[in-house]
């Protein structure tokens, strides 16, 4: 016996509507972050509201995570949201000759046993630690970064002069710094 199977498109259409609404919302968030200096979720929610987009703080947080939005510093020094395609999102570390490193907030470095402590301007430690990790220096086991301080765990028996020379390829040495 032949039975007729009825397929309803409503759940599929509802899913599509949700997906397009979400994608539209994400596109609006990206446009706002790319064109305005937004420093908080509250500022972003207000800007979205002006565009007719209202959502909960939890949804906004999930959207920011999905877009891989981070907090960084604008050229004016303001803490703002950034998207991955923003040139300030991640500094690409190219091979540099000694003394030609970019200014990246470095202030000083001190050594004690198997540790080195680098002091930076507020907000710069994470990017600088990433540069150090990506350099794969033999002397550095790993880094831990806060807002303005980086701890470097160093190999047992490391050569301080070699490490300093390696660090100079990344960080500028300012007059009066302790490196």
Domain with CATH 1.10.10.10 in the chain: 10-82
Domain range 106-168, CATH class? alpha beta
Q: What are the residues whose beta carbons fall under 8 Å from the beta carbon of 130, sequence distance 6 or more?
A: 90, 91, 145
Q: Could you tell me the pTM of the whole model?
A: 0.45
Domain range 10-82, CATH class? mainly alpha
pLDDT value for 78 = 79
CB of 86 closer than 8 Å to CB of 74 = no
- The pLDDT tens digits of the residues spanning 54-78 come to 999 999 999 999 998 888 777 677 7
Distance CA 126, CA 120 (A): 10
**Cα–Cα nearest to 170, from 109, 85, 86:** 109
- The pLDDT tens digits of the residues spanning 110-166 come to 999 999 999 887 778 888 888 888 889 999 999 999 888 999 999 999 988 888 888
Distance CA 155, CA 153 (A): 7
């Amino acid at each position: 016996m032949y039975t007729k199977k009825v397929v309803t498109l409503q759940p599929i259409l509802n899913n599509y509507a949700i997906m397009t609404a979400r994608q539209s919302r994400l596109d609006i968030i990206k446009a706002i972050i790319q064109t305005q200096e937004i420093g908080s979720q509250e500022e972003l929610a207000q800007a979205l509201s002006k565009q007719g987009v209202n959502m909960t703080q939890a949804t906004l947080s999930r959207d920011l995570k999905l877009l891989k939005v981070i907090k960084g510093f604008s050229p004016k020094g303001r803490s703002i949201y950034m998207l991955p395609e923003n040139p300030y999102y991640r500094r690409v570390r190219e091979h540099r000759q000694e003394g030609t490193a970019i200014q990246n907030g470095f202030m000083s470095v001190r050594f004690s046993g198997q540790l080195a402590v680098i002091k930076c301007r507020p907000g710069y430690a994470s990017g600088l630690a990433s540069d150090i990790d990506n350099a794969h220096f033999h002397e550095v086991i790993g880094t831990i970064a806060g807002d303005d301080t980086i701890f470097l765990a160093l190999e047992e028996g490391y050569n301080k002069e070699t490490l300093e020379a390696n660090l100079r390829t990344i960080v500028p040495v300012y007059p009066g710094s302790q490196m």
